[in-house]
Chains A and B, each alone.
Chain A
């Protein structure tokens, strides 16, 4: 681990203490995980603390862990991972929080901390159905007007539920149930640990 990552993780431990549920350093990246209740407060500190100073939010990604590893998932299902950059210190961080309720996932919105979160949270809401409380304008963004469901959830089929076509009799575009059959050319396989390890290449 480089000295820089060491310094960043030490600062994070000092500043947040027990608030951190986990701190992982992997592939040259630091990931911290916090409880949904602490999420907003941690975000604010990350931006304002002089030794951290993450002034830029680069990305927020929704995550659905329900099919992870092709095995039943025991933990909570939905999470939101934010990628932060500090231009001053030139380092990056991933901040993840799991939503407490799988049926109705809610997280605090960080729009007040980083305005760029606005569209990223709308996207995550659209695709995963994660609610961001305190968001000023939580509308769908990428899917069609009047779309039903959250298409990136693991239980949503790739081909979707409805398809659109022009109906010459009615003289307009209509929706109907999909007629194509889902197919999988290459099955999804999780092998044993270290299978296909590039170290043996």
Chain B
């Protein structure tokens, strides 16, 4: 009789389908997973500890680097926590800008997720399509903040500056002649809002393209239907949020249930799944992108009609305008104090959560009245999702583990912090 024994293999940390630095110890019986033990922490940078040694505003750029595919949503939760503690009001225009960029971020994140998920399980074309659209949205990020990814655009009390009147343009070089450049710049002649509106008009067609490639694709369905099924009860018990929870049929979305900023004034729907498998979650994400597109359109309309301040005029929180600082003693003092000592946040503790593309991203901030946080705990949605890896993957084939990692949308910046 042949000797039968279980194999234990390392999946990652260098495996391309591990979405970063996940070391997954798999105990296998043939091809069937008996136990999955994720080892995380390979990207642990101690963001929370670092934040304790920096002033409140200095930590904003660290937030970008948590979930590095949905940068502005992380900043949003952090700024909301500070604003809640301080009790400052954010100007309405800033709220609309934030909502608009949250949704841009959601599309960015879902595009990456769907593209790489498809790539992982064999559909090469998707990633080429989705990265094409990501490029446009990255340009929007760049136009508004100067950085393609790590924007540091949201600030406590509002956003760093108003939307720019013009988009950066391509220039003629030895690879692109004048005609090509003119075509590329066709939708960049106006302001950022014009460019974004052009994008929102094109985007539904792109979504149809993705759906043509995947939704009825036999191989895609064979790899995702019935894989990684999560019942609604399990999803709640495991602390799932976002598309992982909605895929199981629970209509829970913070944008609707506990609206922040101006989400109660925009019109959108929440898609939910039925079977709780990878395919349903894919469909949810697809529909969420279309809904985000709707929200962006409404925000563009509103922002066109309503100019105004984009950051609070409370100069204990936000710095005064440069001109005022040069001409007014009081403002000079405010400026000096803000940039040497920082904001003093009153004693207290607060938990601010946003509906991040991956789920509920929460910031638990404890302040003792100093110019730095006393404790900052970041609640990353991916952390809870990955924690359930063992329960979800057990009994699946080893190839399905890749599909499950893809559907969880894990990004190690936020899980390891």
Residues of A within 8 A of B (CB): 26-29, 31, 55-59, 61, 63-64, 67-70, 81, 83, 87, 90, 92, 94, 114-116, 118-120, 140-144, 151-152, 158, 184, 186, 188-191, 193-198, 200-201
Contact = CB atoms under 8 A, between A and B. Distances in A.
A108 B349 CA distance: 23
B50 A119 contact: no
B103 to A, nearest CB: 23
B143 interface: no
B237 A114 contact: yes
Contacts of A59: 351, 362, 364, 377, 379
Nearest to A26: B348
Given A31-B349, A61-B375, A190-B368, 16 more contacts: A26-B350, A29-B350, A56-B239, A58-B239, A64-B375, A70-B370, A81-B364, A83-B362, A87-B250, A90-B258, A114-B239, A141-B40, A143-B41, A190-B369, A198-B316, A201-B314
Contacts of B290: none
Contact of A63 (B40, B49, B366, B370): B366
Interface residues of B, number: 65
B252 A61 contact: no
A188 B353 CA distance: 27
B364 to A, nearest CB: 5
Closest 10 CB pairs between A and B? A116-B239, A201-B314, A196-B344, A61-B377, A119-B387, A142-B41, A201-B316, A59-B379, A69-B368, A142-B44
Contact of B351 (A55, A83, A152, A186): A83
A56 B242 CA distance: 13
B239 A68 contact: no
B343 interface: yes
Contacts of B50: 158
A27 B350 contact: yes
B76 interface: no
Given A26-B348, A59-B379, A61-B375, A191 B369 contact: yes
Interface majority SS (helix, strand, loop, mixed), chain A = loop
B236 interface: yes
Interface string B48-70: 11100111001000000000000
Contacts of A158: 46, 49-50, 53
Contacts of B257: 90
A201 B417 CA distance: 34
Interface in B212-226: none
A58 B368 contact: no
A83 B379 contact: yes
Interface in B85-108: 85-88
Interface of B: 40-41, 44, 46, 48-50, 53-55, 58, 84-88, 236-239, 241, 250, 252, 257-258, 312-317, 337, 340-344, 346-351, 353, 360, 362, 364, 366, 368-372, 374-375, 377, 379, 383-384, 386-388, 391, 416-417
A94 B351 contact: yes
- Select the residue from A140, A141, A196 with max chain B CB neighbours within 10 A: A196
A189 B369 CA distance: 8
B343 A196 contact: yes
Contacts of B383: 119-120
Contact of B370 (A115, A143, A144, A189): A189
6 contacts: A58-B239, A61-B364, A61-B377, A69-B368, A115-B388, A158-B50
Contacts of B84: 27-28
Contacts of B347: 69
Given A27-B85, A142-B41, A151-B46, A58 B360 contact: yes
B364 A83 contact: yes
A142 B250 contact: no
Contacts of A116: 237-239, 384, 387-388
Contacts of B342: 186
B2 to A, nearest CB: 33
Contacts of A194: 346
Given A119-B383, A186-B55, A69 B369 contact: yes
- Select the residue from A56, A94, A119 with max chain B CB neighbours within 10 A: A56
